[in-house]
Structures are given as structure tokens and as C-alpha cells.
Amino acid sequence: MEMHYDYGHPDLNKDRYDAIREYCRCEKINEAYFRVSIKKPIDRCRIRSRISNLFIIERSLRMKGSLKILSIIAALSAFVSAIVGIFYSDNGAMRIADNIYGQQITLYGDGIYANNSILKVGTTKGTDIVIIAVSIALLAILIINKNRKACMPLQSGLLLIILYDTICLIMGVSFNRLFLLYVLQFASSLFALILSVYHLMNTEIYQEQIYKKHLICAGSFMLVSGCSVLIWLTFILPAVITGQPLDGIGIYTTEPVYAIDLAIVLPSYVFCGVALLKKKKVGYRLAPVLLTFITGVGLCVISQTIYQKLLGIVLPDGQLFGLVGSFIVLGIFAAVLNIRLLKFAKRA
């Protein structure tokens, strides 16, 4: 039955009328029946409640539209910047430069990362490979998503990976011609993540029986994952105590990864772990987002190590098996826990 807006209707304005239509379409409700049902005589409290619900529905639909647009922009910009980062070349050659500490640093000399140290280029290009896969996965979720609840935390997790990578590009890599693209990537991924997490926190994505389970293993893993970033203190404390530059600082003045991990990643994972152990709903909803992020970190570490080896960088055995190996193991465990957790997600 085709419905048309009655501009003379005393109770509904055009926006609310369209919101009802969109709600009925998304929820697969008979529009004519729904409109008749809300016109039936009801008490004032119920009227206020229904009007309030309509405003919430309308706001939610608008937010979903903004979230999808921002996510697409974030995915496309991340894909383009990663492709350029890996494949662009101007046939440059390596060169030597002095940093502010008087140390001589070998610069890569070619492509978009020409003015960065070889170690940084190996790390960044290795991450770019993973970002390509993450961008494609995010676009796939946005295109083929059929209101599957499991897609919501995965989308947030993929956006978090892109955001984290973008911050590292803006703050940890020498200025280059992609800077404005990085800014677009940063803004879109940041606000998309905010909207995505807000939507996730206000949506029931799980079947009810999951809240009866005490996820001690997942909660403990979150605590371990968060505390794993304390490994950076082994690099920071010697520099702080001796007053010497950070080991491997290269041509840079500081290392943003240390600050991000210790100030944001550590408390976020500890908060989620404690919430899971206390069986708080916020922990259940936030867990798959953070598990997706850790899985991405594990993939990045593998890709970075391979790319560094291709550039002739040989990591010490202690760093290879301790630092690199630990993040890979965490990534594998995170993927397994995420799969087990999302099995309880609602179908629609």
C-alpha cells in the first residue's frame, strides 16, 4: 500500500512522517498498519513516549547515515595513502643525515617516505600492507552488511586500527605530500569511531544468555594485553634516567606510539578487562572492538618484520622473540576470543 504525506495532518510533520517510513522499511514492518496503530486513542504518557521514540528513531537513522559516509571516507583515504606509501617511487637513493643529537642516520631516500629512517620505513610500509586489507574489509562490511549485529563491533575495531595508524603517520613520520590526505583520514576515522562506539553502546548486539557467562578468560586477556604496552618502559626509562636520546629515535624528536599506548591503550584495556570480570555490559560490548584492534596489531607486527628483513634490517634475537613474538601471540589469542564472543551476536 503506497503511502503519501498529508501536509495538513495535525500531528505529524514531514520529517517525522519520513522517519516512520524509514523505520518501517528497516524493521520490515507494515507501514500502513504501523501508522494506524499509532493513531489509536492512548493516554498522554504513551503519546509522549511514542513521540520520543520517533525522535530517537529519526536521530538514529541520521547518525547511521553519517557513520556510513565517514567510514567510507576513512576506508578510501586509508587505502589510497597505503597504496601510495608502498608503491610510489621517484627512483631516489639512500642518503646520510645528522639528527638533532649529532647522530648520523641513514634515510630511505625514495618514495613518499624518502625523508624517514630505514627502520621507520620498514615499520610504516609493513603497516600499510595491513591497512590495505583493513580498508577493504571495512568497505566490505559497509556494503554487504545486512543488519548483522556482529558487524557493528568489527566496524568499530577496523576504524580504530585506521585511526591508530593515521595518528602514527601524522605524528611519527616526516612531513610529505600526503599530509592533507592524512588529515582527512584522521578526521573521518576519528568521528566515525566516535559515532560507531556510541551506536554500539546503545544497541543490544548479543543474545541474552551471554550475560550469564562469566568471561574470566577474556577479561584476564584484556588485562594482559593492556599491560603488555608497559614493555615500552624498557626503552623510555633508560633515556629518562641517563638523559640520552631514545634508542632508535632516528631523525625524530619523540615516539608517539609510546604515548598513545601508555596513555590510551593501557587504561582502555584495563577498563574493559575489569568490566568483563565484573560482568558489566559495557565490557561485553567493548571487548570485540579491542580484540579486533589487537588482532590488527599482530598482523602489523608480522608484516613489519617481513618488510624490515627485505630492507636488510636484522632485529636482535631478544627483540625478535620477545617483543615481536609476544604481540603475534596476543593477536592470535585475540582473534580466537573474538570469534567465540561474536558467536553470541544477534542475527539481526
Give the Cα separation of 281 and 275 in Å (integer).
8
Which pLDDT score is estimated for 303?
94
Q: Among residues 125, 136, 210, 201, which one has the least CA distance to residue 168?
A: 125
pTM, two decimals, is: 0.83
Give the Cα separation of 127 and 163 in Å (integer).
13
Q: Which of 5-19, 64-78, 199-213, 310-324: highest mean pLDDT?
A: 64-78
Burial, 310: exposed, middle or buried (Cβ in 10 Å; 0-12, 13-18, 19+)? exposed
Paired residues of 107 in beta bridges: 95, 117
pLDDT score of 92 more than 50: yes
Give the Cα separation of 144 and 136 in Å (integer).
12
Which pLDDT score is estimated for 207?
87
Record the cell numbers describing residue 325, joined without a space. Answer: 613474538
What digits encode the pLDDT tens for the residues 260-272? 999 999 999 999 9
Mean pLDDT in the chain? Answer: 86
Q: Which of 30-34, 258-262, 304-308: highest mean pLDDT?
A: 258-262
Q: Among residues 67, 63, 86, 295, which one has the least CA distance to residue 189?
A: 67
Phi-psi region of 135 (alpha: psi -120 to 50; beta: other; left: phi over 0): alpha
Beta-carbon contacts of 134 under 8 Å, excluding residues fewer than 6 positions away, are 78, 158, 161, 162, 296
Paired residues of 97 in beta bridges: 105
The torsion angles phi and psi of 105, rounded to 5 degrees, stand at -120, 135
Cα angle, residue 47 at apex, residues 44 and 51 outer, rounded to 5°: 145
Domain edges within the chain: 51-342
Cα angle, residue 229 at apex, residues 218 and 121 outer, rounded to 5°: 120
Which pLDDT score is estimated for 232?
92
pLDDT score of 69 more than 50: yes
What digits encode the pLDDT tens for the residues 99-116? 999 999 999 999 999 999
Mean pLDDT in residue range 28-53: 60
pLDDT score of 296 more than 60: yes
Give the Cα separation of 149 and 345 in Å (integer).
6
pLDDT score of 49 more than 80: no
